[in-house]
Structure 1
Amino acid sequence: MLYFMYRIIERRLSMKKKLVFPNLFWWGAASSGPQTEGQYGKVHENVMDYWFKTHPEDFFDNVGPLVASNFFHTYTEDFHLMKEIGVNSFRTSIQWSRLIKNLETGEPDPKGIAFYNSIIEEAKKNQMDLVMNLHHFDLPVELLQKYGGWESKHVVELFVKFAKTAFTCFGDKVHYWTTFNEPMVIPEAGYLYAFHYPNLKGKGKEAVQVIYNLNLASAKVIQLYRSLGLDGKIGIILNLTPAYPRSNSPEDLEASRFTDDFFNKVFLNPAVKGT
């Protein structure tokens, strides 16, 4: 009996297809500036920095972006370790609050330029394709306090200036860009369910305005990138959550359609279809 079972298992294993990945397949890791770098040497605070400074108890074990994973000081070692385990692509983000000295004009801070150039060089040294994101829940807090953050069209224009500075400084070295990481989190967590700063709840009208402006900002930055004639690609990172109806009743079907529209298609359709 045992021999018979062994032969069945052996046969099934032999029937399995061997997966062969192409040479250029990306084995990657993804992070972000505000979640790894720490606050060292930044010109401005972002909303996460400010939230942690004012309410550290909201963060697990009071650990937040002040130090994060200390990537600011350990990136050389981190890239080496990633290479050791076979990682050949890496995504991180440029902190608006680190790169830009003057938020109104988009004037860069030389220290910010130097830091991100070092990151780019280290990735190149370790034969890694670098994907650079421009916004990972890290709006400069003064733009929230002064203008209402992503509720404001002026903030959209300031983001475009920031993006232009990033493209000017690094566009010839970085060939893969994204505008936003999971933009739905900003209205959902910040304006509807209160688990991201500014921790508001039930602000539906404001959330819809934020969604509109985030779509507008992404479209403007993509248009800008293409107008500069840079040799690269640009897109957006979306967190898509499938919505399934509880039953086939008309009410449940309508609810699932609405949920899909609001949480998925509200960013997916403008990005893919332009509608």
Structure 2
Amino acid sequence: WSRIFPNGDETQPNEAGLKFYDDVIDQCLANNIEPVITISHYELPLNLAKRYGGWKNRYLIEFYETFARAILTRYASKVKYWMTFNEINSAAHFPVMGQGLVPSTGANDKKNVFQAWHNQFVASAKAVKIAHELRKDIQVGCMILYATSYAYDSNPVNQLANLQHNQDFNFFCADVQVRGAYPTYTKRLLAEYDLTFDDLETTDGDLALLQQYPVDYIGFSYYMSSAVETTGSVTDTVAGNLMGGVKNPFLKASDWGWQIDPTGLRIALNELYDRYQKPLFVVENGLGAIDKPDKNFYVEDDYRIDYLKQHIEAMAGAIDDGVDLMGYTPWGCIDLVSASTGEMSKRYGFIYVDLDDQGHGTLARYPKKSFYWYQDVIKHNGLTKK
């Protein structure tokens, strides 16, 4: 966004920014790579956060519409698959990246988070409208952070808490964007923060747009699962993707405490497809780990290969279950600073980058063992027997 509209509120795009993406997209197509574009991925122009207070301000609907129209008009003929907001539900725990809200602009007030979500839902519907007017077969999806959630035990109190956790975190944003209306449990969810729907600034026109322009598919990230325990009988906790929880005794965890659960991905795919009956797209899935290169900067990351292999097998199982899974893009192709922790040492890529947490290094790139393994996976559109 900020490369094309540096301040976010301009009326005309930055042509140099568009030229950058012209080259990226054309290079992808020249190499038989299908581009998938997320319109807004944790990069709100700083001016929109500082001057307007982030997504709680309705002005951002208009600014996003201008941005979306500019890039969709430019690239709709070349790019078929789009998503409107990255991990939109992550604002439940960390609103700064997705909504541009910080404590000084109301991040600690849940009313602002829900207002920001509403404005993003409307903006998303407008993007779907623009896209479908430009190209009939274009596909525009939502994108959520999905962490399969289990009740810690059969205690009905934990079962109910888990059901409500799933509604509040895993489903709420997708329910609105896929079904085109706020779910019935919205009343209960808002009441938890002493809010009602009337406390939000909405219009009949907003609700009509949501109903008329739902997304075409559901994109989601999947790294881990979580367990819900509310009675206080379990004190052993673990970290997670912007959120933590109690430790699941049946699962191992990554170097950062994220519980590794490939079966949870199969469950997630079934849960989402049963609920929405629209195609699913796993657009992030990977293992953040401490990689130790040898003297030639080669990394034998069998642990990453094992993680991805198990999750790909879980997707194959979900397809056998009848799930319509349209695609898979792992996170990620190259090492980069982790968005959730700000560390370069938390590496996900198939390509090792010579850079440490203090910014020291040559930035030289070296394929890891997983690079060649995944090269074979995509060559055969799936796992081979060897």
Q: Structure 1 length as normaliser, TM-score?
A: 0.58
Q: Which residue of 1 aligns with 2:264?
A: none
Instruction: Identify if the C-alpha distance between structure 1 residues 240 and 209 changes in structure 2 by more than 3 Å, giving closer, same or farther.
Output: same
What's the Cα RMSD here?
2.5
Instruction: Identify if the C-alpha distance between structure 1 residues 239 and 231 changes in structure 2 by more than 3 Å, giving closer, same or farther.
Output: same
Q: Which residue of 1 aligns with 2:164?
A: 258
**By how many angstroms is 1:244 displaced?**
2.0
In 2, Cα distance between the equivalents of 1:144 and 1:133? 20
Q: Which residue of 1 aligns with 2:337?
A: none
In 2, Cα distance between the equivalents of 1:98 and 1:265? 31
Which residues in structure 2 correspond to 1:155-234 (within 5 Å)? 155-190=60-95, 198-200=101-103, 202-234=108-140
Letter in 1 for 2:163: R
Q: Which residue of 1 aligns with 2:41?
A: 136
CA contact (8 A) 1:102 1:108 kept: no
Instruction: Identify if the C-alpha distance between structure 1 residues 175 and 222 changes in structure 2 by more than 3 Å, giving closer, same or farther.
Output: same
- Matching residue within 8, 11, 16 for 1:103: 8
In 2, Cα distance between the equivalents of 1:223 and 1:244? 36
Letter in 2 for 1:136: H
| Higher mean C-alpha deviation, range 245-254 or range 148-157 | 245-254
Show CA shifts across 1:230-269 (max 9, x none).
5421112221122222334443233212211111111121
Show CA shifts across 1:73-112 (max 9, x none).
xxxxxxxxxxxxxxxxxxxxxxx10112563354111101
CA contact (8 A) 1:189 1:199 kept: no
CA contact (8 A) 2:6 2:45 kept: no
CA contact (8 A) 2:86 2:143 kept: yes
Which residues in structure 2 correspond to 1:72-83 (within 5 Å)? none
CA contact (8 A) 1:187 1:211 kept: no
Q: Which residue of 1 aligns with 2:56?
A: 151
| Higher mean C-alpha deviation, range 124-133 or range 213-222 | 213-222
Q: Which residue of 2 aligns with 1:118?
A: 23
**By how many angstroms is 1:210 displaced?**
1.9
**By how many angstroms is 1:199 displaced?**
4.7
SS at match of 1:255: helix
Q: Which residue of 2 aligns with 1:15?
A: none
Instruction: Identify if the C-alpha distance between structure 1 residues 170 and 230 changes in structure 2 by more than 3 Å, giving closer, same or farther.
Output: farther
CA contact (8 A) 1:188 1:207 kept: no
CA contact (8 A) 1:101 1:107 kept: no
Letter in 1 for 2:16: K
In 2, Cα distance between the equivalents of 1:247 and 1:142? 47
CA contact (8 A) 2:5 2:13 kept: yes
Query: Which 5+ residue runs of structure 2 have no aligned equivalent?
Result: 182-386
In 2, Cα distance between the equivalents of 1:259 and 1:187? 11
Matched, 1:272 2:178: yes
Instruction: Identify if the C-alpha distance between structure 1 residues 99 and 230 changes in structure 2 by more than 3 Å, giving closer, same or farther.
Output: farther
Query: Which 5+ residue runs of structure 1 have no aligned equivalent?
Result: 1-95
Instruction: Identify if the C-alpha distance between structure 1 residues 171 and 126 changes in structure 2 by more than 3 Å, giving closer, same or farther.
Output: same
Ranked by relative contact order (alpha carbons within 8 Å, sequence separation 6 or more), the top structure is 1
In 2, Cα distance between the equivalents of 1:140 and 1:236? 21
Instruction: Identify if the C-alpha distance between structure 1 residues 224 and 206 changes in structure 2 by more than 3 Å, giving closer, same or farther.
Output: same
Q: How many percent of aligned residue pairs carry the same amino acid?
A: 27
- Matching residue within 229, 238, 242 for 2:144: 238
In 2, Cα distance between the equivalents of 1:101 and 1:137? 14
Instruction: Identify if the C-alpha distance between structure 1 residues 230 and 161 changes in structure 2 by more than 3 Å, giving closer, same or farther.
Output: farther
Q: Structure 2 length as normaliser, TM-score?
A: 0.42
Show CA shifts across 1:168-219 (max 9, x none).
111112121111111112342126xx99965546432222222222222212
In 1, Cα distance between the equivalents of 2:142 and 2:88? 9
Show CA shifts across 1:45-75 (max 9, x none).
xxxxxxxxxxxxxxxxxxxxxxxxxxxxxxx
**Structure number with bigger Rg:** 1
**By how many angstroms is 1:137 displaced?**
0.8
In 2, Cα distance between the equivalents of 1:102 and 1:249? 51
